[in-house]
Structure 1
Amino acid sequence: MKKELNLQLSPKEAYDEQVFQEVVAKRLGIKTEQHQFKARQVKRSIDARGRQVKVNVTAEAFIDEPSTPLLSTPKAYQNVKNADQIIIVGAGPAGLFAALRAIELGVKPILIERGKDVRARRRDLAAINKDHIVNPESNYCFGEGGAGTYSDGKLYTRSKKRGDIRRIMEIFVSHGATEEILVDAHPHIGTNKLPKIVTELRESIIQAGGEVLFNTKVVDFILKDNEMVGVITQDGEQIKGLGVILATGHSARDIFHLLHAKNILIEAKPFALGVRIEHSQNLIDQIQYHCELDRGPYLPASSYALVQQTYYKGKQRGVFSFCMCPGGFIVPAATSPGELVVNGMSPSRRDSKFANSGIVAAVELEDLPQYVKYGPLAAMMFQADVEKKAWEIGGKTQVAPAQRMLDFVNRKSSSSLLDTSYQPGLLSADMHEVLPDFISNRLVDAFQAFGKKMKGYCTNESQLIGVESRTSSPVRIPRIKETFEHPIIKRLYPCAEGAGYAGGIVSAAMDGERCAEHLIEMYVRNNLH
C-alpha cells in the first residue's frame, strides 16, 4: 500500500532520516516491526515566518510493498554519428541541453566552446584569484559548463512556461546530481559537484556520436542568402550544419560586436547593476530563523530575497537581491583584462561563514542618454565602462573596491573593512565614486528599506563589494516568438542568457532544448536542407 502525506515538521524531524521515518510511521499508526515500511520525502520547503521554523514536507509511505523509483528511467541516447548535424555555439547549460535534445531527436550536435574543458578551467580560475591574471577565453564565465558551473549551481526557476523543469532536474540526477534536487523547493547542486556532472553530460554527447570542440572560438558566421549555414573559427576552419544555435552567454561581447558589424539585427536591452553584499552567515541565520546563537545542526544556511521600489530624479526603478549565496564565496568574474566584476557561488554544503548576494538596480535605456551613439550596444558599453572604473579604483588588479554598508549609506569612508570570502582582496573606497549616481542613490534608499524588512540587515557589520554587473545580457538578439528563429537571418536560433531569453541554469537548459526542437522541426523534419 502507498500513502501520501502533507506534514509540517520540526527541522530535526525533516532532516534527520531516522527521526523522519519514525514520525511518518507514527502519523500513519504503523508499527514498523510488524510491516515492511519505507517513507521518503517528495517535496520539502522551509517556512520561517513564525518564531519557530517549520519544514513543510510532502511524503510518500510504502507499506508492505517496494518503493517506486523517484527518478524516471532516463532515455538511452541513440547514436547520431552519421546523422544530419547542427551547430551549437557555447557549452553552458543551454548548449549542453540543446545537444542532448538534438541527439534524442536523431540529429548530430557539433558543440563549439571557446574555453577549456571543465577541469582545465580550474588553473585559470586560480590565476585570477591568486595572480590577478584574467584569461579572456577561460574564466568564471567562459569554458565548459558556462558561468553557472563555477559560480554556484542554483537550480531554482520561476520559468515554468518555458519547459519541463522536472525533466531538466532528472537529467541532472541521471548524470550524477543527488536526488535531493528533486525534493527541495530551492534546489542547489554546488560548485564543487557541478564539474563532474558537466563532464558526464559531455560524455553522453560524445558517446552518442556528437562532437564537443574546446578552445574553438567563433570569429565569423557563414551566411548564404540570409541563412546562417555555419561558423568560422579562429583557425580559419569552416564548420557547417543545418542551422546554428547561438548559446554564448551574457558576457560574450565579441559575439555582440560581430553581430553588429555584420548588420545582423540586435537590440539594446535593459539589465541591472550594483554590488555584492557580504554579511556573516550567522547574522543572516539569526534574522531569518529568529535564533539567538546559531541555526543548529539541522537547518541549512538561510537565504533571503529582497526587493524595493526606489525613486531618483522622478524615475522609479526596482532594487533587488540577485543570486543570493548562503554559506558562499564572492569570486572575480571578469572576462577580460582591465575590468573588475564580482559574482557569488556556494559549495554544496553551503558551509562558508559568509553570506553574499547581489544587490542591483534596474538600468533602463532611458538612463543612458550619453550611450545612445552606440546603438544596440549602448547598455553593453555602459556596463563595460563601469567595470573599467571599478578596476581602476581597485588599483588596476582584481582587488575589489569595498565599503561598509552604513558608511556607504551615510557617505563616510570606511577606515577598515571586514574579513571577506573574496580571495583577491579588498580596498576601501567610496562606492559612490565607483557607481553612477542613479545607481548608488537608489542603493542607499534600498538598504535603509531592507534594514526595516530584515532587522539587523543594514549594518556596518556588512560590506559592499563591487561591481555586480553581469546580472543578465545588456543585448537582446531578437527571435520570432513562435519559432525561436531570428526574424531576418534564417537558421539562426538565438538562445538563453546571451540572447536575453533566460536567467539561470534551468531556464537556460530549457531554452536550449526548445531551440533544438524548433530548429530540427523546421530544417530536418521538414527536409528543408
Structure 2
Amino acid sequence: MIRNIQVRLSLEEAEVENMLEQKIALHLGLPASEFTFKILRKSIDARKPTIYFNYKLAVYMKGETLDKTEYTFDYQDVSKAKAIHIIGFGPAGMWAALRCLELGFKPIVFERGKNVQDRRRDLKAINQDHVVGEDSNYCFGEGGAGTYSDGKLYTRSLKRGDVRRIFESLVHHGAKEDILVDAHPHIGTNKLPKIVQNMRETILKFGGEVHFNTRVTDFNIRDNRLKSIVLQNESEIAVERVILATGHSARDIFELLHKKKVALEAKSYAMGVRVEHPQEIIDSIQYHCSGHRNTLLPAASYSLVEQVKGRGVYSFCMCPGGFIVPAATAPGEVVVNGMSPSKRNNLFANSGIVVEINVDKDIPKYEHFGALKGLEYQKDLERLAFTSGGRTQTAPAQRLTDFVEGRLSTDLNPTSYQPGLKSAPLHSLLPKLIGSRLRTGFKAFGEKMHGYYTAEANIVGVESRTSSPVTIPRTKTLEHVQIKGLFPCGEGGGFAGGIVSAAMDGERCAEAAVVGL
C-alpha cells in the first residue's frame, strides 16, 4: 500500500548522506530495503534560526510500482484538421497551441517577434547599444516575456486549472523534474529557451504552424463577428476562431481594438520601482547567518506586503541571485524587470516593489482616455524614467535610504543592470500616489526584515509592466462579450499573471474555441 508521509530534516541532518531514507525508515519502523519513495513536495522553513527542509513523500512498499507522472500528452496529426488561429506565442499562445494538438485541431500561430535564438541579438542590442526593437525584445518574441525574464513557475492560481499538468508538460519538453516537487519552482532564463524551442518543434511536428516576424495589424469585423485578420505584409487571413494571446505589453492591439470600438475595460494594476540588494544581505536576513550561506541552501528570496493609505505596497517578481533587465518595448521609454539564471548564483537580489493603482479612483486626470486610461498613465511614467535616465536605456536610480529620506544620491551601488544607472531624484520625480507610499512601505519592510533598509541597496525605475492595464472582457464561455469568434486570453486579456496561470488560461481558451467547429 502506498503511504503519503511528511518528514523534515534540519540543515545539519541534510548534510548527512542517506539521512532522508533513514528518517523514512524510522517513521515507518521498517528497514530501508523494504520500501522506495518519491518526493512529492520539498520546501524550506527558515523562520527560526534552526532551518529545516520539509518533505512530503509517497512511500512504496517493496514490489509496488513507482508512479513517475500523472499525465500523458496525446498529440495528434492535425496537418489536415480545422484551424484555430492564435495571435501571440507566449505561454498562453503556446499552451493553447499544444492543447489544440490534443483536441485534434490545427493551431496556426502568428508571433510578432522572433524565435528564441534570434531574439538574443535584439536583447544584446538593448543592453549594449540601447536600441529597442519594437517587435523583438524582453517582452515580445517566442515564449513571451517569461522566456528571457526568469521562468518562475510559482502561482496562486490553483483554482483556474491544473497546475501539475502544466509542470508535467514542461518536463515532457525538457525541464528538470525538480519543478514537480519544489515549493517555489523555477527553470531559469538560461534553460527556458531550449524548452520553448522544444514546444515549438512539437507543434510543427504534429502539423501546426508558427509564423514569426508576423504582426497582426487589423481585424475585419462584420455583424459582430471576427471574419479575418490582416498581417503586417497586408495579407488577409480568413478566420473562424481566434485566440488573442498577445501579452500585457501589446499596446498596439489595445489601441486598435479601442479605435474599432470593441469593448475594453480599464483594469487596476501596480507600478513602482525595482530594488536591488547584495544577495549576501538577503541571505543573512532570511537564513540568520553572517557571510556565505550553507551550500545546501538556495539564494534566499522574500515576499513583502504592506497596506499604505488604502493601497497595497508589495514585492513582485522577486529574483534571488538575479539580474535587472531593460524591458522597454518602444523607443522613448525605460522599463525594468528582473530575471534569474537556473543556478541563481549572481551577486545581487532584486525585486519589484510596487503600489496598487486603482484606475477608477487614483488617476482622474486620465479619465478622458476611457478604457486606456491606465495604459496612458503607465506610458507617462515610462517616459519620465527615460528622460530622467538620460534619454537612453540607462535607468534612473537612487540609494534606497536616500530615496526614503528625500535626497539625491551622490553615488550609486554596483548593479547588475547592464545598460547602467544614473543618479536621479526619484523621491520627487515619481507621482505622489506611488512615491509617498513606496517610502512608507520601504520603512515598514525594514522593520519586518532587519537589514533590508540599507544604503547598500539601489532602487531603479520604473517597474511598470506588472500586469495588463486593460481587460478584454469575455463571457463564461471565454468568448469576447461583443465579438463572436474572438477569445481573449492570458495576461493580455487581463486573465493571468505569470507563466503558469497564462498557460492554464491558454488551455482553457483552446478548449472553448473548438466547441461547435
TM range (shorter): over 0.9
Is the CA contact 2:407–2:427 (under 8 Å) kept in the aligned structure 1? no
The change in CA–CA distance for 1:420 and 1:385 in structure 2 (over 3 A counts) is: same
2:27 is aligned with 1:5: no
Query: Conserved in 1, the CA contact under 8 Å of 2:328 and 2:334?
Result: yes
Letter in 2 for 1:224: R
Write the distance in 2 (CA, Å) between the matches of 1:332 and 1:15: 39
Taking the TM superposition and a 5 Å limit, the aligned residue runs for 1:457-496 are 457-480=452-475, 482-496=476-490
Instruction: Work out the CA distance in 2 between the residues paired with 1:229 and 1:517.
Output: 20
Task: Determine helix, strand or coil for the equivalent of 1:149.
Answer: coil
Q: In the TM superposition, what is the alpha-carbon distance from 1:65 to its structure 2 partner? A: 2.6
Match of 1:290 in 2: 288
SS of residue paired to 2:369: helix
Describe how 1:374-393 pairs up with structure 2 within 5 A: 374-393=369-388
Give how far 1:327 is off.
0.9
Partner in structure 1 of residue 258 of structure 2? 260
- Among 104, 107, 112, the residue aligned to 2:105: 107
Other-structure match for 1:87? 85
How much does 1:262 deviate?
0.9
Q: Deviations over 1:136-156 (max 9, x none)?
A: 000000000000110011111
Which whole-Å deviations, capped at 9, do the CAs of 1:340-370 have from their partners, x for residues lacking one?
Answer: 0000001111111110000000111221111
Q: Which secondary structure state, in structure 2, belongs to the residue aligned with residue 406 of structure 1? A: helix
Task: Name 1:194's counterpart in structure 2.
Answer: 192
Matched, 1:363 2:361: no
Indicate how the Cα distance of structure 1 residues 86 and 106 shifts in structure 2: closer, same or farther if over 3 A, else same: same
Equivalent residue runs for 1:310-389 within 5 Å:
310-311=308-309, 316-365=310-359, 366-389=361-384
2:349 and 2:128 map into 1 onto residues whose CA distance is 22
Residue equivalent to 1:184: 182
1:229–1:241 CA contact under 8 A, matched in 2: yes
Q: Is the deviation greater in 340-349 or in 228-237? A: 228-237
Where 1:275 maps in the other structure, the secondary structure is strand
- d(CA) in 2 for partners of 1:443 and 1:239? 47
Of the candidates 436, 439, 442, which is equivalent to residue 447 of structure 1?
442
DSSP 3-state at the match of 1:78: coil
Structure-2 change in CA distance of 1:131 and 1:67 (3 Å): farther
1:286 alignment partner, SS class: helix
1:209 corresponds in structure 2 to: 207
> Unaligned 5+ residue runs, structure 1?
525-529
Which residue does 2:299 correspond to in 1?
301
Q: Compute the displacement of 1:75 (Å).
A: 2.1
Matches within 5 A, 1:498-517: 498-517=492-511
C-alpha contact (below 8 Å) 1:265/1:488 kept by paired residues: yes
**In the alignment, what sits opposite 1:527?**
none
Aligned counterparts of 1:130 and 1:220: Cα–Cα separation in 2: 34
Return the letter of the residue paired with 1:253.
R
- The residue type equivalent to 2:79 in the other structure is K
Contact 1:270/1:363 (8 A) holds in 2 = yes
Aligned equivalent of 2:21: 21
Give the conservation status (yes or no) of the 8 Å contact 1:14–1:57. Answer: no
Q: How many aligned residue pairs are there? A: 516
- In 1, Cα distance between the equivalents of 2:292 and 2:20? 23
Identity %: 56
DSSP 3-state at the match of 1:397: coil
Q: Which amino acid aligns with 2:451?
A: G
Q: Is the 8 A contact 1:328 1:356 kept in 2?
A: yes
**Alpha carbons 2:38, 2:66 under 8 Å: kept:** no
The amino acid that maps onto 2:106 is: K
Q: Equivalents in 1 of 2:12, 2:40: separation in Å?
A: 17
Q: CA deviation at 1:240?
A: 2.4
Structure 2: how far apart are the matches of 1:271 and 1:200? 33
Q: Deviations over 1:128-171 (max 9, x none)?
A: 11111100000000000000110011111111111011111110
Give the RMSD, CA atoms, in angstroms: 1.5
* Letter matched to residue 409 of structure 2: S
CA distance in 2, matches of 1:309, 1:16: 43
- State whether residues 87 and 240 of structure 1, in contact with CA within 8 Å, keep that contact through their aligned partners in structure 2: no
Q: Distance in 1 between matches of 2:198 and 2:11?
A: 34
Residue in structure 1 matching 2:146, options 145, 148, 151: 148
**Counterpart-to-counterpart distance in 2, 1:486 and 1:18:** 55
- For 2:415 and 2:405, the matched residues in 1 are separated by 22
Question: Shift of the alpha carbon at 1:426?
Answer: 0.6
Which stretch shifts more, 347-356 or 292-301? 292-301
Deviations 1:306-348 (A, max 9, x none): 111112xxxx111110000111110000000110000000111
C-alpha change, 1:489 and 1:292, in structure 2 (3 Å) is same
Q: What is the TM-score normalised by the length of structure 1?
A: 0.95
Paired AA for residue 126 in structure 2: I
Deviation at 1:375, TM superposition (A): 1.3
Once the two structures are superposed, the pairs formed by residues 112-151 of structure 1 within 5 Å of their partners are: 112-151=110-149
